Amino acid sequence: GYKQASVVILHKSLADDFEKFCQANDAALPLLYRSKPGDWKCPSLSSDSDTRTDCLQYRIYEHGACTGSLNSLKEYSEQLKDMVTFYLDCSFSFQKAVQSVGIPMRYVEQKCNVSMYKTTVPCYSVSTFSCNLVVTMRPVPESKLEAAVQAASGLKEAHGAPIHMGDPGLLGIQDLSKPDYGDSVHLHPGDIPVFWACGATGVEAVINCRAPLAFTHSPGHMFITDIKNNNVTVRSSREIPQVHCISQHPLHYSMVSAEAAQKIKTLETLIGTDPGDRGIIHLQRPDELLKASLSLSHARSVLITTGFPTHFTYDPPEENDGPPGALAVAAMLQALEKEVAIVTDQRAMNLNKKIIEEAVQLGVLKRPVPLLSYQKETADSALMFLCENGNPGKPRHVFDHLIAIERAGMAADGNYYNARKVNIKHLVDPIDELFLAAQTIPGVRTTGVGDGGNELGMGKVKDAVKKHIKNGDVIACDVEADFTIVAGVSNWGGYAIACALYILSTCEIHDRYLRKAVGFPQLSKRTAWLSALPSVTKEEKLLKTLVQHGVRSGKTASLEMEVDGLPFYTTHSLLIEKLL
């Protein structure tokens, strides 16, 4: 029932840098106390302590190599006069809090030590202290994931919330049965591996700094303090974490505050209104915007597609719903320093290039977005486009999330239809194949945004489209996306994604989880994120540009300031203001 601490003892010349290293990686190395040189006591942690003997076993490190273990440091008393002791809170300290909400401790049941692993996640380096993060793994039943996270999150001095839930490979851990420290702990059916930052990170830092002499406790032989473990009750919705599954292959859960999640649900409600009275309420699925945005937040790079050539008798045949939403998402992804590209029809490349160039001039985009096209040349064209050498086991990092916004989607008969059942296949390149191929590639997620059911990605709700949407039995898109966002106008879905990404980036709980609790919050970048949000002024200028290029309103083919037959100034501008 008492707090336990890891111990690291270093020469005083290294002490300031190591303290900064702890502060920069405080989830792994939550500093409880730093002694003065030669001081073997820690009065704030224990009334009668002696650093030299209070751990049952110590390890000695010389020039980065472990040269042995010993039960007492008294023989090094002379050297210790010039050394500083750091006491770091240990993950065992939150065990009581997690157990109190009914989470089984598998390593206790199996009468062994907790499993610890070296990851490929680099810590924030300070001077000579540089290493990868070390984590503990505790199996948690899936039904109790959120309870475990909420119990641990308030105990920031004891590592706080986990830094990863799901596939260990995403941390670079290849085999859970082979821990780097501690013992192998077996998962029960239904258990999810949950990883917390671990104080053994300090040992790796000591090894890498190659100090002439250093000491640590031996694994499992912690310093026991006089301080009782106390459960912390988290009250504010800003501090209450929620857990959401964002991928099954590989298994991956994300984390967000209840406050941020509610804001994003409000966005979803706002864009779900049906001004065209199409019956889209029957297509909507709850929390798709939240899950899609969480997945995008974890993505390194994103491929966006848009373009619905519904006006087949005009040149260009494109409608103006889609490109503004796509560029709004691209602008926010740019601000978040993710790679982003747009793939569109070969025949529309010049038009889209001009629109992108003018979007930069108007301040909608900070810089041009690379423009790509896709043609099916062989049976493996889609895999070759998305993967290294067409190998699904090695997805190209350029595309780990695909988004379609108001993109013509392939129906069950292989054709592409506008809302009036007209086949426009001759105007549409087979970009759907990229979404179908993505289903076979672990780690590549897809999102579809639509407003009528005939858009790419709406295959997830095709039965509802056939039942409730006019001409749905013919026009329904057959190609699914992992996440399906249904909006009154597809552009609104793009605006909402951009706003949701901003909300997630400014959510402390999500930010910490995203960076694996390494380094510091990126508060200085908030201004850039804010300036990337859509605005009435930006969208007005962009719509005027589309009109000048002959891109027409979807429902009426009008070249007025409207989208889907709805006037910009009394409908779309008001919706944008509500989203913001």
241 located within any domain: no
- On whether both 142 and 269 belong to a single domain, the answer is no
pLDDT value of position 226: 83
237 located within any domain: no
DSSP state of 568: I
CATH number of the domain enclosing 158? 3.30.2040.10
- On whether both 221 and 264 belong to a single domain, the answer is no
Q: Encode 418-455 in three state secondary structure.
A: CCCCCECHHHCCCCHHHHHHHCCCCCCEEEEEECCCCE
Residue-number span of the structural domain to which 15 is assigned: 2-227
- Please state at what angle helix 288-298 crosses helix 490-505, rounded to 10 degrees: 60
Distance of alpha carbon 259 from alpha carbon 363, whole angstroms: 31
pLDDT value of position 93: 59
- On whether both 302 and 399 belong to a single domain, the answer is yes
Higher pLDDT, 12 or 232: 12
Interval 285-337: pLDDT, tens: 999 999 999 999 999 999 999 999 999 999 999 999 999 999 999 999 999 99
Residue at a domain's end among 227, 242, 276: 227
Q: Are 381 and 426 in contact (CB under 8 A)?
A: no
- On whether both 158 and 284 belong to a single domain, the answer is no
pLDDT value of position 394: 62
Distance of alpha carbon 362 from alpha carbon 541, whole angstroms: 7
266 located within any domain: yes
Q: Are 345 and 426 in contact (CB under 8 A)?
A: no
CATH number of the domain enclosing 479? 3.90.1640.20
| H-run or E-run covering 354 | helix 349-362
Least confident of 158-162, 212-216, 399-403: 158-162
- Provide DSSP, 242-307: EEEEEEETTEEEEEEEHHHHHHHHHHHHHHT--TT---GGGT--TTHHHHHHHHHHH-SEEEEEEE
- On whether both 162 and 19 belong to a single domain, the answer is yes
570 located within any domain: yes
Quick count: other Cβ atoms within 10 Å of Cβ 127?
A: 12
Average pLDDT, the chain: 93
- Percent share of the chain, pLDDT over 90: 81
Domain count within the chain: 2
pLDDT value of position 89: 85
- On whether both 425 and 472 belong to a single domain, the answer is yes
Q: Are strands 401-407 and 445-450 parallel, antiparallel or unpaired?
A: parallel
- On whether both 218 and 307 belong to a single domain, the answer is no
Interval 50-66: pLDDT, tens: 999 999 999 999 999 99
- On whether both 187 and 291 belong to a single domain, the answer is no
251 located within any domain: no
Angle at CA of residue 311, ends 308 and 316, nearest 5°: 80
Distance of alpha carbon 424 from alpha carbon 490, whole angstroms: 19
**Phi-psi category of residue 159: left, alpha or beta, with phi > 0 → left and psi -120 to 50 → alpha:** left
Give residue for tokens 């929620």.
Answer: 242
Exposure letters 247-284 (e unless 16+ CB within 10 A, then b): beeebbbbbbbbbbbebbeebbebbbbbebebbbebbb
- On whether both 265 and 213 belong to a single domain, the answer is no
Interval 329-370: pLDDT, tens: 999 999 999 999 999 999 999 999 999 999 999 999 999 999
- On whether both 285 and 374 belong to a single domain, the answer is yes
- On whether both 427 and 509 belong to a single domain, the answer is yes
- On whether both 218 and 288 belong to a single domain, the answer is no
3-state secondary structure of 315: coil
CA dihedral 118, 120, 124, 127 (to 10 degrees): 80
395 located within any domain: yes
Short-list 341, 440, 447, CA closest to 390: 440
pLDDT value of position 121: 97
Residue at a domain's end among 175, 209, 227: 227
**Bond preceding residue 162 cis, omega within 30 of 0:** no
Short-list 163, 155, 216, 4, CA closest to 90: 4
